[in-house]
Amino acid sequence: MIRIVESPREAMQSLPYVIPTQQKVDYLNTLLKCGFDTVELGSIVSSRMIPQLADTSQVLRQLDFSDARSKGMVLVVNEEGIELSCSIDGVTQLCYPYSISPTFLQKNLHSTPAQALNFVDILLNAGIQKNRIVTIYISMGFGNPYGDPWSLELLHQSVNELINRGARAITLSNVSLEIDFNLIRAVYSFLIPEFPDADFGLHLHTSGILWKRQTEAALYTGCRTFDSVIHGIGGCPMTGQELLGNLKTEDLLGWLADLKYPVNIDPVWFQKSLEIAGELFHD
């Protein structure tokens, strides 16, 4: 089964304007009914850094999880975020944007590699204590534009460290660096046999030209979890680099349907989500 993580957080955080809280709630409630494996509902981060998501705690408290068909996920970067997210029953998954790039960690989290690993320990322990799924993202997982060292061996060491700490869901992201499908194939064909008990995902940022070959490279080497965003909007505004868009959910679903992979997305609710997204996300 292919698992799709719909990430409206990615779209909202990159906008030059702030979507009103009630409109966010209405949109997320619609997405939760579509049948995605997971919907990333927001992030508990500094309102100064990401003002577009400053109301995430209010949004979470107003969501209706009674007939949700998806896990609700929140990005957290501190213990306050863990506690707040776990106080909402419908939030059953937490994630953290770890990286093997020290420059990314400093720009994005004002953190050193040692501090980031320490928080990974805190988050994984909280996941056990509070019965939450934890996904660790490896941002700049396919290299970086900063000149920081990167290699398959360094990536292997980083993944091994996370696995030894208890991580089992690990998603790789390129964030702001367009990547060749051959590199994607090399990474997953190297990691997945080495760590067969881990669930490796792909959070693909793409210009929209190479997405199919990039996604094929991951799928055909064993990746089964894919992040996407309706209309492909968004990116990370804290990298200091030009943003790439995200893998479009519409493209991903159509492609998987052509390949006869079951994804169990409700077409009525998905169409409604597309229509709402068209109203919310504008120039």
Q: What pLDDT score does 45 carry?
A: 87
Q: What is the pLDDT of residue 222?
A: 97
Measured at the CA of 35, the angle between CA 259 and CA 50, to 5 degrees, comes to 105
> Nearest-5° angle of CA 221, CA 222, CA 228?
100
pLDDT, tens digit, 9 for 90 and up, residues 244-272: 689 999 999 999 999 999 889 999 999 99
What pTM was estimated for this model as a whole?
0.95
Domain boundary assignment for the chain: 3-280
Higher-pLDDT residue of 48, 100 = 100
Amino acid 262: pLDDT: 87
Q: Return the amino acid letter for 283.
A: D
Task: Give the DSSP letter string of 24-45.
Answer: HHHHHHHHHTTT-SEEEEEEE-
Helix (H) / strand (E) element for 186: namely helix 181-194
| Contact present, 39 and 70 (Cβ < 8 Å) | yes
Distance CA 84, CA 78 (A): 10
Query: How many CA atoms within 13 Å lie on the side-chain side of 66?
Result: 2
Looking at the chain, the whole-number percentage of residues with pLDDT higher than 70 is 96
Residue 241 has pLDDT above 60, yes or no: no
Whether the pLDDT of residue 242 is over 70: the answer is no
Read off the pLDDT band of 235 (50, 70, 90): low
**Is pLDDT at 228 greater than 90 in this prediction?**
yes
Question: What band does 237 get if pLDDT is binned at 50, 70 and 90?
Answer: low
Per-residue DSSP letter, 208: S
Tens digit of each residue's pLDDT (9 = 90 or more) over 97-151: 999 999 999 999 999 999 999 999 999 999 999 999 999 999 999 999 999 999 9
Whether the pLDDT of residue 198 is over 50: the answer is yes
Backbone torsions φ then ψ of 134, nearest 5 degrees: -120, 125
Is residue 52 within 8 Å of 18, Cβ to Cβ? Answer: yes
pLDDT in the model for residue 240: 45
Determine the pLDDT at residue 2: 94
Specify the pLDDT at position 266: 97
Mean pLDDT of 185-196: 98
In angstroms, rounded to a whole number, what is the distance separating the alpha carbons of residues 204 and 176? 9
- The predicted-structure confidence for 53-106, as pLDDT tens digits, reads as follows 999 999 999 999 999 999 999 999 999 999 999 999 999 999 999 999 999 999
CATH 3.30.800.10 is right for the domain spanning 3-280: no
Residue 143 is classified by DSSP as B
Quick one: DSSP state of residue 89?
Answer: T
Q: Which helix (H) or strand (E) holds 138?
A: strand 133-139
Mean per-residue pLDDT of the chain? 94
Does the pLDDT value for residue 197 go beyond 90? Answer: yes
d(CA 103, CA 97): 13
Q: Which residue has the tokens 């850094």?
A: 49
